[in-house]
Structure 1
Amino acid sequence: MATPPQRPGFPARIDLGRGGTTPPARAAAPRPAPVRAAVTGDGLPVVPAAASTVRDSIPARARMVQQLMAEGISDPLVLRAMGTVDRHHFVDGALVPQAYEDTALPIGLGQTISKPSVVARMLELLMQGGLRGDNGKLGRVLDIGTGCGYQAVVMGQICEEVYSIERLRDLHEKARANLRPMRIANVHLILGDGMAGFAKGAPYAGIVAAAGGEAVPDAWIDQLAYGGRIVAPVAAAPGQQALIVIDKSRQGIRQTVLEAVNFVPLKSGVA
């Protein structure tokens, strides 16, 4: 039996840019003493933050979840994850008052953190695709477009293992900084070309993309497990995008086109 590939630990730094070479190692900064993350009554980690901010965020998160339920989100794992992760931890200080509104917010470099309703919708669609374990969670999944890291952390609550890939070096580093105090062992951050996926972690029970291209890259379909599902935006008409679901079985590929969406464009390479 072949030995499975060794997977990176957290926070992973896998640099797939610039001809596949890894930059010379830099001297490590002194590491602060580990801090045990707070947990909810369900045993899920809560993003560390100032006590006053955490207190203020609790009712805001609860209202956000109630709104998601009113809009039709019903998967209990998705709702619990959305109500657990502190979204304000992933936005700039000036935008914290808007963190739990159902709106996309800028995170720099022309990118945004997706609306909570869009994140919840895509993850619920992913969860409906099958390949869930006895605990209700999905297995290993691939997140295309890490951004600030928010969606990857939410996915970490509903999936056994998450590989999240980002092509923009500055955003990759920002996500690493955001996730570092959380010390979530099942979320791995990768710097690389998301259009190529991440073959070392395949096959995946699910793939989610936070950027839309003309079509879903063949690499994603190749890296998807039989019984797995891809949820991604694609071009539907000039200047328009639609959310699609792709299910892979041994009988073939089935694609379903859903509602109109608006995501940043999917690009190749590392910058």
Structure 2
Amino acid sequence: MSGGQAVALGIALVTALLSAGVFTLAWRQDKVSAVVGKMDPDANRAAVRHPQLTPMTAERATAEAPEAAVEEPAPAAAKPVIIELTQAEYGETRRQFLNRATGASFGAFLAFLGITGLAFLWPRLSGGFGSKIDAGDIDEIKQAIFQPDGTIEPFYVAAAKTYVMPFAESEAVGTDFEGLDVFAAGLTGLFQKCVHLGCRVPWCSSSQGFECPCHGSKYNAHGEYEAGPAPRNLDRFALEVVDGRLLINTGQIRDTPRAKVKTVQYPQGVNCV
């Protein structure tokens, strides 16, 4: 697992824990809040109109009150419509609603942040830069590189941001490239980015090398440092051949220090920069 993948997994894990904590806190606040009921105003008014009588006051009232004519009972009032609420509905308060809404919003933001970070750092599993790129048939690539006049032209793979160049593993004996997995079928794959400040380094056909127009760094056809402020050789990718096709693993970048011993002549003509 690379450093970028480890960072991505860490961000995702922290985001998940924060989201869980926010939701748990909001839920516990809702549980702790007490359910407060309200007294029925009709019952309150009835209690004021009809105070409770003790046995003594009831006997005195009976003795003092004159006999009254028996009245017929008044018709019963219509029963009020009672709308039943669930315990959850009755216990819902404005504060609880705001707590839940705030927690949900913050949790959604953290989830979005985590997914965005993961998508940015994690290599695209379905293909594209950061994964293995099929550069094409080996024979067709070599045919495109070697020109009739004896010069070479890079085979550029846009999806891999790579210049495929001829470089046999036998030529790398005694250099910093020896033992690296950057060779396949006599080819190597150079990352297009200048190791100085990241500009794309174009190919100069006349000098048969890579020359950066930004600050003048120069590299030969094998990507070895020749001149300028660049701190090392051009970076390159791990290569492999599967069923006669060249695969460039853009998730595996190999860097090497400035070459002390050059493996190819440079320049072979007029410089472009």
What is the TM-score when the length of structure 1 is the normalising length?
0.25
More strand by share: 1
Structure of higher CA gyration radius = 2
